[in-house]
């Protein structure tokens, strides 16, 4: 008999709801005549700093996830999912991973908590970035990234 699917925490549902609301609001000023959000519009110059900042934050999260998985094999299923997600996000932003992985201190339980807290902070920063983006298409990208992180937090809970 399979175990029941994990239930979403109140916090994860609220975070996911905030990200979803951001997606709905993001395209308001950047729609084409057909009602579809223009996803091929170039990133505005004022958004390039935002993309750079979020790219650095995602690269740091990737480094932490990789280091945590290396230090604690028991956490590798979690860290592989997060690492793959961060690599996809870096690719979407056309940003490279920085290659640094560092060291993780403490035991596996402490490392897991620290990793999930860092992911929660990154998710909040992505929601903030979605709200700050001038480009509706970029706002949608950040909101989708925030939603993907919220989903991973639910799975990890």
DSSP conformational letter for 73: G
Q: Where are the domains of the chain?
A: 10-31+46-156
Taking the complete model, does pTM exceed 0.85, yes or no? Answer: no
Q: 20 φ, ψ to 5°?
A: -65, -40
What pLDDT, on the 0 to 100 scale, is given for residue 100? 78
Q: What is the pLDDT of residue 44?
A: 61
Q: Which residue has the tokens 């403490």?
A: 106
| pLDDT for res 98 | 79
Over the chain (157 residues), the average pLDDT of each successive run of 10 is 50 49 42 36 73 96 96 96 97 89 90 96 97 95 96 85
Contact, 89 vs 123, CB < 8 A? Answer: no
Could you please report the per-residue DSSP string of 120-150? HHHHHHHHHHHHH-SSHHHHHHHHHHHHHHH
Give the model's pLDDT for residue 21. 45
- State residue 35's pLDDT score: 34
Q: How far apart are the first and last CA of the chain?
A: 21
The CATH number given to 10-31+46-156 is 1.20.1260
């Amino acid at each position: 008999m399979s175990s029941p699917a994990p239930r979403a925490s109140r916090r994860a549902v609220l975070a996911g709801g905030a990200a979803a609301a951001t997606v709905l609001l993001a395209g308001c000023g950047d729609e084409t005549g057909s009602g579809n959000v223009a996803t091929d519009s170039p990133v505005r110059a004022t958004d390039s700093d935002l993309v750079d900042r979020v790219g650095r934050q995602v690269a740091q999260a990737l480094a932490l996830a990789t280091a945590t998985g290396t230090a604690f094999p028991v956490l590798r299923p979690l860290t592989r999912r997060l690492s793959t997600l961060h690599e996809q996000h870096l690719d979407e932003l056309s940003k490279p991973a920085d290659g640094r992985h560092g060291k993780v201190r403490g035991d596996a339980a402490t490392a897991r908590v620290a990793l999930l807290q860092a992911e929660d902070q990154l998710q909040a920063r992505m929601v903030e970035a979605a709200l700050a983006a001038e480009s509706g298409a970029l706002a949608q990208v950040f909101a989708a990234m925030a939603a993907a992180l919220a989903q991973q937090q639910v799975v990890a809970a």
